[in-house]
Amino acid sequence: MSYLKALPAETALLDVFRAYPGPAGPLLDLHEQVMRAESPFTPGERELIAAYVSGLNGCDYCHGIHTVTAEAFGVPEGLLAAAVQDLDSAPVDEKMRPVLAYAGKLTRTPSRVTEADAEAVFAAGWDERALHDAVLVCALFNFMNRMVEGVGLRADAAYAEVSGRRLHEVGYAGLGKVLAAES
């Protein structure tokens, strides 16, 4: 139930964007750039990072939606739940494991991230652009998790399924077009 009493009880993020459109367009543009523009990471890998960060933060709304999106891009079902539970024993690709470890440390204890953490990402075969992009995804979803939790958004599995599939199909730019068409 949303803490924004002017909005319906079953408010979704798109409802918040409709009510407060000023930041919505630029925020969706940023999502499109970070999550879908050219990157060493595939869109599915970026959705994996986003869902992982959201899971660590306990943001069920974002974790649910972005897990569905990541799975629609080919991330194996159940991998995210296992990774959030225990990254070391989860069936995560060995090249992605240090990326998720980095994002996890940046989420939980940002001031404790070290050069050695970055070196583990590089040793797995990623370059500086990849580290930069992973940091942006992590930062964006820490922001979004706080926004979603701060306004009290909740979603059930059915909503996560619909929203996650929509993100896979139209991307963040598509959501921006939906909002722009309604203006």
pLDDT (0 to 100) of residue 101? 98
pLDDT (0 to 100) of residue 177? 87
Among 31, 33, 48, CA closest to 95:
48
* pLDDT tens readout for residues 62-115: 999 999 999 999 999 999 999 999 999 999 999 999 999 999 999 999 999 999
14 falls within a domain: no
Asked whether 52 and 100 are in contact (CB, 8 A), the reply is yes
Average pLDDT estimate for 103-131: 98
Report residue 7: phi and psi, to 5°: -100, 160
Average pLDDT estimate for 18-45: 96
173 falls within a domain: no
Q: How many residues does this entry show for the chain?
A: 183
179 falls within a domain: no
Has residue 38 got a pLDDT over 90? yes
Q: How far apart are CA 50 and CA 67, in angstroms?
A: 8
33 falls within a domain: no
CATH of the domain at 122: 1.20.1290.10
Q: How far apart are CA 93 and CA 114, in angstroms?
A: 23
Among 110, 91, 102, 90, CA closest to 126:
102
102 falls within a domain: yes
90 falls within a domain: yes
The confidence band for 8, taking pLDDT boundaries of 50, 70 and 90, is confident
pLDDT (0 to 100) of residue 182? 78
pLDDT (0 to 100) of residue 164? 97
How many other C-beta atoms lie within 10 A of the C-beta of residue 8?
A: 10
Q: How far apart are CA 122 and CA 99, in angstroms?
A: 9
74 falls within a domain: yes
Q: Domain count for the chain, please give it.
A: 1
b/e burial code for range 20-48 (CB count within 10 A of at least 16 → b): eeeebeebbeebbebbbeebbbebbbbbb
Q: How far apart are CA 183 and CA 167, in angstroms?
A: 20
94 falls within a domain: yes
pLDDT (0 to 100) of residue 76? 98
- Tokens for 85? 């539970």
Average pLDDT estimate for 16-21: 93
* pLDDT tens readout for residues 71-80: 999 999 999 9
DSSP 111: G
Report residue 166: phi and psi, to 5°: -60, -45
pLDDT (0 to 100) of residue 178? 83
* pLDDT tens readout for residues 133-183: 999 999 999 999 999 999 999 999 999 999 999 999 999 999 888 888 876
Has residue 1 got a pLDDT over 80? no
Residue range(s) defining the domain that contains residue 123: 41-168
